[in-house]
Every structure is written in structure tokens, then in C-alpha cells.
Amino acid sequence: MNVDLEALKAFERGLDADRPEESRIPARVLGYGEISTIFEIDSDSCRDLACKRMPIFNTQAEITRYEELYNRYNAALAGIRIEVPRYGFAWFVSDGGRTIAYDIQEKLPPESIGNRAIHILDTENVRALFKLVLHQLTRVWSFNKAYPDRALGIDGQISNWAIIGFDPAGKKLPANCRLLYFDTSTPLMKEGGIEQLDPELFLRSAPSFMLWLIRWLFLKDVMTRYYDERLVTIDLIANFYKEQRPEMVPLLVQDANEFFAGEGKELGIRPLSEKEIKSYYSEDAIIWRVFLALRKFDRWLHRNVYHKPYVYILPGKIKR
């Protein structure tokens, strides 16, 4: 995908980090990640694109390595028949001297995104969508078992999938439904059994006064959980609490256990329980709630104590 670098530079010059929609070139926030913000920028060349802004790189070597890994990760997913949107990549040094990178993808219809679709579909179609996601994830896990030295990590949450050709008016999945996986900006890949994505990139947006604790307690877990079939499935189901569909959790636990006892038997995943899912989500929600509060305090410190710009864009209150 061709990217208009000058349009991104112009957007960056006038970006209002607190109110992106009131920037010199207005932008609508499509979503937030731990190290990024996804914009639809209101300019001719960027409209209808999802522009994921990542101000996390310190050197050209870091950014060059990331770009190469990002491209290889997208290609690797496509190689195991997991479809991804059209994509591109751009980076530049801002007027303030900060290196800014953008992962670019075609913007997908909002109602086609999994966490929106589950509020349109009835119970049976939500379960069918969940099973389709499991089938997609199995392609990753089968590849990893066959080639453990070249394993791929993946975040299977329902909000990372889009339904191709979804008609929300029909309130059901299309015939021969296909999915797109679009959360490719965290390209977790191994070569020779060694993680290729620099784990320190995850820490760039963390509060500076918490780095040692996060590195000690959480970094290894973050870098390994997305290779673990069982944890990815637990995270996928637990995400239905956050997405305000808690009544689906018992049904999805049942569906997952049936799947792993049947066609997914070769994976050797022990049965899940609703209690386990709820406990996982409660702990995860607390961690991210505290982490966001600390990031907001770090933003206040940068602006009011250190008198330095805070380059990250933080979400408001997240409903959980």
C-alpha cells in the first residue's frame, strides 16, 4: 500500500494529543493499543485508512528492524491462510526531533469488527463467529507445533478480527464466512527459538518510575502469553466480559472444550472452566486499570514537573 508521507507529517505537526478530533487536521480515534493509537485522519490521501501511530522508536536501526519484521509477520500470517488487510508502513522524524512510525491498513467497516458484530449477531451466530476464530487460531498453533523454532505469536481477542462482507442489517454471518486479522503491529515471531521483536519496545510507553517493576513482573508474561494456545483462548473468551457480553462466557467455554476434545484434540489443551476465565479477567482488568492510571500520572509529571512533551495518546475511561 502506498503511503502519503507528507500528509502524515502535516498531521503530526498539528496533532492535539488531548483532543485529536480538534487537531489542525482533524482525526477520529479508531482504537488504542498499549503502544499505539489508531487514527482515521481527515485528509484526502489518508481518509478511509487506519493509521496506527507509534512514537516508540529511538534509532533508525530500531525502526528499520521493526519495519522488516512487520512485513514478514504479515506475510507469514498470509502464508498459513490467515487473511490480513492491505497494509503499509511509514516513518519520519517530527519537527520536534521525535521518530514517529505509522502502520497503515485499509479501514474496515466498523460493524464488521468482531467486538461490534457480537452486539448485532444473535447468540448462535456469536458462537459460530467464536468457532471461526478458533479455526483461524488453530492454523497458527499447528504451524508452531510443526516449526517451533519459527513460531508466531497472536492476540486472538474478538476485537482483532473483522468479518469479510458482513451486512449488519442481516444480523447473521455471511455464507462461507471469512475473517480478517488486523492486529499485526505487534509482530511476535521467533527465529531459532529466539523472539525477534525487541521486548523493550513494550516498555517505551510505560511510566518511567515503574520500568524496573514492569520489566521484572510482567514483561516475560506479555512476550510469551501470545504463543500459548490455552492462554490465547482464555484471553479470547475473557474479552467478552470487557465487551459487555458476559452471558456468552459459559457457552464459549463449552464450545472451546468441545472443540479441543474434537477437531482440536491434537493440540492437547486441557479443559477450561468458567471460574478460571472469570479469575483471569478480574486480574487482567485490575492490572490494566492501574497501568492506565499510572500512565496518566506519568503524563502529568511530564507536563507539570519535568516540563517535557508527553508523546503518547491515552484513552479516557474504559468500560470493563
Closest to 66 (Cα-Cα) out of 188, 193, 203, 228: 188
What length does the chain have?
Answer: 320
Q: What is the mean pLDDT of the chain?
A: 90
Q: What is the pLDDT of residues 236-291, one digit of tens each?
A: 999 999 999 999 999 999 999 999 999 899 999 999 999 999 998 887 777 777 77
Q: What is the mean pLDDT of residues 3-30?
A: 91
Domain that holds residue 89: 11-106
Q: List the end-to-end C-alpha distance of the chain, in Å, as a whole number.
A: 35
User: Which ranges of 218-303 would DSSP assign to H, the alpha helix?
Assistant: 219-225, 229-242, 249-261, 274-301
The verdict on residue 155 lying in a domain is no
The verdict on residue 78 lying in a domain is yes
The verdict on residue 277 lying in a domain is no
Q: What is residue 47's three-state secondary structure?
A: coil
Q: How many domains does the chain have?
A: 1
Rounded Cα–Cα distance for residues 99 and 63 (Å): 9
What pLDDT is recorded for position 106? 94
The verdict on residue 308 lying in a domain is no
CA 239 from chain center: how many Å? 12
The verdict on residue 257 lying in a domain is no
Higher pLDDT, 22 or 283: 22
Percent of the chain with pLDDT over 90: 67
The verdict on residue 58 lying in a domain is yes
- What is the pTM assigned to this prediction? 0.89
Q: What is the mean pLDDT of residues 147-162?
A: 96
- Residue 76 belongs to a domain with what CATH number? 3.30.200.20
Q: What is the mean pLDDT of residues 121-130?
A: 97
The verdict on residue 46 lying in a domain is yes
The verdict on residue 83 lying in a domain is yes
Cell digits for 169? 442489517
Is the pLDDT assigned to residue 219 strictly greater than 70?
A: no
